[in-house]
């Protein structure tokens, strides 16, 4: 039975990794190695849709599962995959031997979550023989619940992927919230999901109320779908008379198609749709005329349409041989085979909405679908029910592009998603088509599911503004901190962390508590969040650095003043700075 012990956690670069993480030791016996191959095969069979392992400890050398470090590497890789599957962007998992002992180091957003992942994979391996197939399928559920609470969501993950590719640092603005800062100090930019701090509060209020958004669309001369607002069920007949059949019902203050019903053709259906919308809102319910076509998402970034994505409802194409039931089963089977817990595409459920859509087209599951004939399986194009997305930017009429860009500007959005309904994106909106709504925090998985790389989407949204500020780290005995504070070149826009205190220029910062034993890591984050900081000087005792790692991922300058690091830490300082030096006294620092 494998035994493990959590040893320590690091908040920044250290001798084991460049990323914050958790270090643990594993005691692996010969009995564990004898069953390693069979048990890892079972694990790969259970989680193979989302976890692949090729062995990469020691610089990517092929690893044997019959060795302690090879088995440890497998478990570390499984923990990393589980940490990132539902949400999160943890990058490090390694196994190594030192003095005959095996260790694993796994990166973290949150120490407890990563520690739980290590414990989970060891427990899984030790007790695998007693696990049923169903229990294996849901094994990581408790871990993923922690990830939901403490890891960045999928929007932030995409931005982090873009930031990492460009060397842009990121940090949480608030604990346990979805506000993340990309870049430091005056070069930092805050996002909530995909919504930038540059976006208009007023525009966000308009976009959050569909009736206000439509009123502004009309005021700007943009085509909208005819609609009325209804508060009571008794008003539905008058609404149907004014709008005509078919129609659409939706809440006015919800997004992501919550409470929406499409293509309603009679009063019973309208009443049912009204009550569904009422389950999700106390605000007025909107009744719209249904117009045929596909929903297109126009992603506008800093005044320009970045991409246009057509959202196709789930459907099948006949071959003249197989029945509709066969085609649906094949389609759902291929989705199920590729499905993963953190995935976004789901099978099309054969529920009431599915059968209602078949009745509308006057087909049954037993019918043979003619070759080339398309059968829609659902009204609403949602990924979770099998929708398919296509990038049609190059096919979009210039009038539609210019219209979307003017709308984004009118709402004051640097980033937004505009939903546009048409059956031909190549025709001007003057001829046909209508704007449905505008989204202040557009879903970034839409362009990803249409084929764009997550890193490219993240870079696109972040733009060129987020970046670093110069960082100087001076390590010296605490007795020298007061002397250094007196002679350090602190300018009005210089952030500083010295001797348990921190501030920007002449302005001290109040929290974390102003105390000599406060960790420099916490104070450094506070200064990096300050938009007035153009550079930062950190002066601290070496001890908290040895215990917790560097306070930032990279420094411009690291100076050891009267302190000689060991070889391992000297390598860390040299690798994570542009300039590293050692001096004997304060008088040598600022010559």
Place of tokens 């994106």: 425
pLDDT at 414 over 60: yes
pLDDT at 429 over 90: yes
Q: Residue 134: is it exposed, middle or buried by C-beta count within 10 angstroms (0-12/13-18/19+)?
A: exposed
Residue 262's pLDDT is 82
Residue 62's pLDDT is 54
Confidence label for 591 from pLDDT (cuts 50, 70 and 90): low
pLDDT at 187 over 90: yes
Residue 57's pLDDT is 52
Residue 292's pLDDT is 84
Tally the residues of the chain.
591
Contacts of 419 (CB under 8 A, 6+ apart): 295, 296, 297, 298, 435, 436, 437, 438, 439
pLDDT at 513 over 60: no
Mean pLDDT across the chain: 91
Place of tokens 């099998």: 386
Rounded mean pLDDT, 173-192: 91
pLDDT at 445 over 70: yes
Residue 145's pLDDT is 94
Residue 390's pLDDT is 95
What is residue 379's DSSP assignment? S
pLDDT at 176 over 80: no
Rounded mean pLDDT, 242-248: 89
Q: Do the Cβ atoms of 21 and 9 come closer than 8 Å?
A: yes
pLDDT tens, position by position, 268-299: 999 999 999 998 888 889 898 888 889 999 99
Least reliable range by pLDDT among 54-68, 442-456, 501-515, 561-575: 54-68
Confidence label for 251 from pLDDT (cuts 50, 70 and 90): confident
Residue 382's pLDDT is 84
Global pTM reads 0.91
Burial 286-302 (b: 16+ CB within 10 A, else e): bbbbbbebbbbbbbbbb
Residue 52's pLDDT is 80
Confidence label for 110 from pLDDT (cuts 50, 70 and 90): very high
Rounded mean pLDDT, 427-454: 93
Structural element, H or E, at residue 524:
helix 520-528
Rounded mean pLDDT, 499-505: 89
Among the ranges 494-508, 510-524, 569-583, which has the highest mean pLDDT value? 569-583
Residue 585's pLDDT is 80
Residue 565's pLDDT is 95
pLDDT at 61 over 60: no
Closest by CA position to 455, among listed 49, 166, 198, 206: 166
For 588, the token pair is 């040598």
Rounded mean pLDDT, 479-486: 80
Residue 206's pLDDT is 92
pLDDT at 562 over 60: yes
């Amino acid at each position: 039975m494998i035994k493990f012990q959590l040893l320590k956690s690091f908040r920044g670069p250290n001798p084991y990794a460049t990323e914050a993480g958790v270090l643990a030791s594993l005691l692996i016996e010969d009995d564990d190695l004898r069953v390693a191959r069979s048990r890892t095969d079972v694990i790969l069979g259970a989680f193979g849709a989302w976890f692949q392992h090729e062995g990469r400890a020691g610089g990517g050398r092929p690893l044997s599962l019959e060795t302690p470090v090879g088995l440890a590497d497998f478990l570390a890789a499984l923990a990393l995959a589980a940490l990132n599957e539902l949400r999160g962007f943890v990058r490090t998992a390694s196994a190594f031997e030192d003095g005959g002992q095996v260790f694993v180091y796994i990166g973290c957003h949150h120490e407890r979550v990563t520690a739980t992942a290590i414990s989970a994979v060891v427990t899984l391996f030790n007790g695998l023989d007693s696990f049923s197939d169903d229990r294996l399928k849901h094994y990581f559920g408790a871990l993923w619940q922690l990830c939901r609470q403490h890891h960045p969501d999928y929007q932030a993950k995409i931005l982090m992927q873009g930031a990492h590719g460009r060397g842009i640092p990121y940090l949480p603005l608030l604990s346990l919230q979805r506000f993340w800062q990309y870049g430091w100090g005056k070069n930092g930019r805050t996002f909530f999901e995909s919504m930038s701090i540059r976006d208009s509060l007023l525009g966000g209020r308009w976009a959050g109320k569909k009736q206000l958004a439509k009123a502004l669309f009309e005021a700007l001369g943009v085509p909208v779908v005819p609609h009325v607002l209804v508060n009571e069920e008794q008003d539905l007949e008058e609404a149907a008379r004014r709008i005509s059949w078919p129609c659409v019902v939706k809440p006015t203050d919800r997004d992501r198609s919550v409470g929406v019903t499409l293509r309603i053709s009679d009063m019973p259906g309208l009443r049912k749709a009204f009550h569904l919308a009422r389950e999700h809102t106390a605000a007025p319910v909107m009744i719209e005329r249904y117009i045929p076509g596909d929903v297109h998402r126009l992603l506008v970034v800093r005044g320009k349409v970045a991409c246009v994505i057509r959202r196709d409802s789930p459907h099948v194409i006949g071959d003249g041989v197989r029945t509709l039931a066969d085609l649906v089963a094949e389609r759902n089977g291929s989705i199920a085979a590729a499905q993963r817990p953190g995935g976004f595409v789901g099978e099309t459920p054969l529920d009431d909405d599915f059968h209602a859509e078949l009745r509308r087209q006057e087909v049954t599951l037993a019918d043979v679908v003619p070759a080339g004939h398309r059968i829609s399986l659902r009204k609403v194009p949602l990924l979770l029910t099998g929708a398919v997305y296509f990038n049609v930017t190059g096919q979009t009429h210039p009038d539609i592009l210019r219209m979307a860009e003017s709308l984004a500007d009118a709402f004051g959005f640097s980033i937004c998603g505009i939903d546009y309904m048409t059956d031909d994106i190549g025709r001007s909106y003057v001829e046909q088509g209508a704007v449905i709504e505008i989204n202040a925090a557009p879903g970034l998985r839409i362009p990803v599911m249409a084929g764009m790389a997550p890193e490219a989407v993240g870079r696109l949204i972040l733009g060129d503004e987020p970046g670093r500020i110069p960082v100087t780290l001076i390590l010296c005995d605490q007795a020298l901190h007061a002397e250094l504070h007196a002679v350090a070149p602190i300018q009005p826009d210089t952030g500083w962390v010295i001797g348990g205190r921190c501030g920007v220029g002449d302005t001290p910062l109040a929290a974390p508590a102003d105390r000599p034993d406060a960790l420099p890591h916490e104070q450094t984050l506070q200064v990096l969040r300050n938009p007035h900081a153009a550079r930062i000087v950190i002066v601290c005792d070496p001890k908290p650095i040895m215990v917790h790692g560097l306070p930032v991922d990279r420094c411009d300058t690291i100076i050891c003043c009267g302190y000689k690091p060991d070889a391992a830490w000297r390598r860390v300082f040299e690798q994570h700075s542009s300039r590293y030096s050692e001096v004997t006294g304060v008088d040598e620092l600022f010559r």
